[in-house]
Amino acid sequence: MKHVKCECGHVNPHGTILCEACGRVLQESEKEKQLVDMRYEGSARRSQTYNKTIVDKVWNFFSSVKVGVWLIVITLIASALGTIFPQEMYIPPIMPAAEYYEDQYGWIGKLYYDLGFHNLYSSWWYLVLIASIGISLVICSLDRVIPLWRALKAQRVSRHEGFLKRQRVFGVSEASNLDESYEKVKERLKAKRYNIREEDGNILAEKGRFSRWGPYVNHIGLIIFLIGGMLRFVPGMYIDEVLWVREGETKVIPETDGQYYLKNNKFILEVYDKDKDNQAFSEAIEEKGMVAKNYQSNVTLYKKKGETVAGQPPELEKVKDYPIKVNEPLKFEGYALYQVSYKLDELSKMTFTLGNKKSNESFGEVKIDLNDPKDRYDLGNGYAVEVVSYFPDFEFDDSGEPVTKSKVPNNPAFVFKMITPDKKEGEISFVAIQQTIEPFGDNEYKMNFSGIDTKNVSSITVRKDLTLWLIAFGGLIFMIGVAQGSYWNHRRIWIRRVNDEVWIAGHTNKNWHGLKREIQAVLEDTGIKEPEDQMQKEENKE
């Protein structure tokens, strides 16, 4: 490997622009410039100097900040595209997605669906984009942090004149009484928390170097965050299940290996009351009609005792009672149960009375549990009702036969056989909500609907996310890195004696205003002239 030996004796890696030690300009093209480019201290980024094998080429591709910025911009545009129409997960499940987009948004919607934008954020190419940003983060950081670290470590106190002259803040001053003012300057720099190094009467005052590591720290944070996101795909790390539980029902909690059970004691829905709640809300409530105040499921969490096989009635031990509300999930052993949805007033029981159509005389009441109806209800005195067929979620199918759409009693219907002392064979009647059909001619008896019992159903999301701590850790590191890089500045002031003159140069990675003010305060009344901002000088000339 070719090395570049500077006149000061320091050996620099190939491609170095400014000598790591003394700052002498090593590249001819750079000598033309009025000000030196201080990015990465003029150190050699290796990626830019070797380009031979495929591996090097791939490496160099990802090492380019230009590529990184493009990746960011493309991701940005892609993300925006995904918000034009709602993503598939947010559309109501009333029809297949393919039809929904066309139905709602016309041909643009269809195009949107055909391009796969309805599931953009989990598409392979979006994942590839994010992954490329991740790779770019790793390689860009590695390629820059090492040379930067070398250069900052190798820097010498005495800098080459050419280096000082080409700093943005630079000034030459003739000063008498130098030793005295030197002491003053050093003291003031120290008071401003500068680290001071001296060599042959030259000074390098430096502070806040650690802010230079900020970008790399935040990149590490981002990489950890991305690894956390990746772990989500590892089976068992992430659980997302929905559990519907009726009031009074006890159900096994999915993904807990049958170890935990949940009983829903009560579901509560509260709305704001314009008279009882805060008077300030009354106008808003009036305008909006109804505003929900609370969704809450009072549940009991049980743990199974001993070993049972699925299907066996388990022996349950109560763990705790808990009101699950929005924003207040029930947490246990890495699981969290959230209140996410509900269904009010699901039918649970229906009551009928058996009566004579003509006389209106009643012969007793039948209360049917819609989730577990009996096949015969005896009313005594020779009266009885048999359930011949039961359709919890009734509809007529294409051939006109009564069928059930699901097992949920949304629209119960029955075929009853009414047995009475005078009709021992029984009369058949088909009874659904608000309709009665007598398939075998006019009956004498009738099942009169007399009432319903309802129950609410809570929808609980079962969540376990073992990647959270890593994601949170990545976020924390990122924030530390960003703060470190944003809220601190790396400032350096070089003071060098050249014959009878004092040369002062200053550099900061940002906030030049602050640096200038600081130099001004340090040099006040020392007889040393304040250096000038060469950028402003140029501008004023224009």
Partner 1 sequence: MKKRRLVIRTIILLILGAAVAYTLYANFTKDDIKKVVVGEQAPDFVLVDLNGEEHRLSDYKGQGVFLNFWGTYCKPCEKEMPYMDNQYKQFKDKGVQTLAVNVGESELSVSKFADRHNLTFPIVIDKDGQVQTAYKIGALPATFMIDKDGKVVKYHTGQLTEEMIKELMEQVQP
Partner 2 sequence: MVSLSGNLLFASFILYLIATVFFAGSIKDKKGKLKEKGPNKWAKIAIFITIIGFISQLGYFITRWIVAGHAPVSNMFEFGTFFALSLVGAFIVLYYMYKTPLLGVFTLPVALLLIAFSSMFSRDISPLIPALQSHWLYIHVTTAALGQAILGMSFAAGLIYLVKAIDQSKPSKRTFWLETIMFGLICTLGFVLVTTTFSLLDYKAEFNWIDKNGQQLKQEYTMPAITGPNEGELLTAGKFEPLVEMPGIINAKKLNTVVWSLLSGTIIYLLFRLIIRKRVGAVLQPVVKNIKLDLVDEIGYRSVLIGFPVFTLGALIFAMIWAQIAWTRFWGWDPKEVWALITFLFYAAFLHLRLSKGWHGEKSAWLAVVGFVIIMFNFVAVNLVIAGLHSYAG
Instruction: Return residues touching partner 2 (CB under 8 A).
Output: 37, 39, 65-66, 68-69, 72-73, 75-76, 79-80, 82-84, 86-87, 89-90, 104-106, 121, 215, 240, 272, 277-278, 280-281, 283-285, 287-288, 291-295, 325-327, 329, 336, 338, 340, 461, 463, 465, 468, 471, 475, 478-479, 482-483, 486-487, 510-513, 533, 535-536, 539
Binding mask 45-64 for partner 1 (x = CB under 8 A): -x---x--x-xx-xx-----
Closer of 230 and 285 to partner 1 (Cβ): 230
Residue 135 partner contact from partner 1, partner 2, none using kind-dependent CB cut-offs of 5 to 8 Å: partner 1
Taking CB under 8 A as the binding criterion, the range among 80-88, 311-319, 334-342, 358-366 that sits at the site for partner 1 is 311-319
| Binders in 316-345 for partner 1, by CB under 8 A | none
Q: Please provide residue 112's backbone torsions phi and psi, each rounded to the nearest 5 degrees.
A: -55, -45
Closer of 414 and 488 to partner 2 (Cβ): 488
Residue 373 partner contact from partner 1, partner 2, none using kind-dependent CB cut-offs of 5 to 8 Å: partner 1
- List strand residue ranges (DSSP E) for 333-408, in order: 335-356, 362-369, 376-380, 383-391, 394-396, 402-404
How far, CA to CA in Å, does 389 sit from each of 361, 392, 449, 521? 26, 10, 17, 95
Residue 121 partner contact from partner 2, partner 1, none using kind-dependent CB cut-offs of 5 to 8 Å: partner 2
Is residue 405 part of the contact set for partner 1 (CB under 8 A)?
Answer: yes
Q: Applying CB under 8 A, which of residues 86, 258, 323, 527 lies at the interface with partner 1? A: 258
Residue 134 partner contact from partner 2, partner 1, none using kind-dependent CB cut-offs of 5 to 8 Å: partner 1
Is residue 179 part of the contact set for partner 1 (CB under 8 A)?
Answer: no
Residue 82 partner contact from partner 1, partner 2, none using kind-dependent CB cut-offs of 5 to 8 Å: partner 2
User: What type of residue sits at position 90?
Assistant: Y
Closer of 54 and 280 to partner 1 (Cβ): 54
Closer of 94 and 309 to partner 1 (Cβ): 309
Taking CB under 8 A as the binding criterion, the range among 25-33, 68-76, 112-120, 401-409 that sits at the site for partner 1 is 401-409
Are 136 and 67 spatial neighbours (Cβ–Cβ below 8 Å)? yes
Quote the CA–CA distance of 147 and 99 in Å, as a whole number: 56
Contacts of residue 340, Cβ cutoff 8 Å, sequence gap at least 6: 242, 459, 460, 461
Are 365 and 482 spatial neighbours (Cβ–Cβ below 8 Å)? no
In the 8-state DSSP scheme, what is residue 88?
A: G
Are 32 and 26 spatial neighbours (Cβ–Cβ below 8 Å)? no
How far, CA to CA in Å, does 19 sit from each of 38, 269, 497, 498, 504? 12, 72, 20, 20, 19
Residue 32 partner contact from partner 2, partner 1, none using kind-dependent CB cut-offs of 5 to 8 Å: none
Residue 161 partner contact from partner 2, partner 1, none using kind-dependent CB cut-offs of 5 to 8 Å: none
Is residue 176 part of the contact set for partner 1 (CB under 8 A)?
Answer: no
- List strand residue ranges (DSSP E) for 218-306, in order: 238-246, 250-252, 260-271, 292-305
Q: How far is the CB of 172 from partner 1 (least distance, A)?
A: 43
User: What type of residue sits at position 487?
Assistant: Y
Taking alpha carbons only, the member of 231, 164, 191, 260 closest to residue 493 is 164
H/E element holding 443?
none
Q: Applying CB under 8 A, which of residues 233, 396, 469, 487 lies at the interface with partner 1? A: 233
Binding mask 112-151 for partner 1 (x = CB under 8 A): ----------x-x--xx--x--xx--xx--x---------
In the 8-state DSSP scheme, what is residue 259?
A: -
Alpha helices in 64-191 (DSSP H): 65-81, 97-114, 124-154, 161-165, 178-191
Quote the CA–CA distance of 325 and 353 in Å, as a whole number: 40
Is residue 372 part of the contact set for partner 1 (CB under 8 A)?
Answer: yes
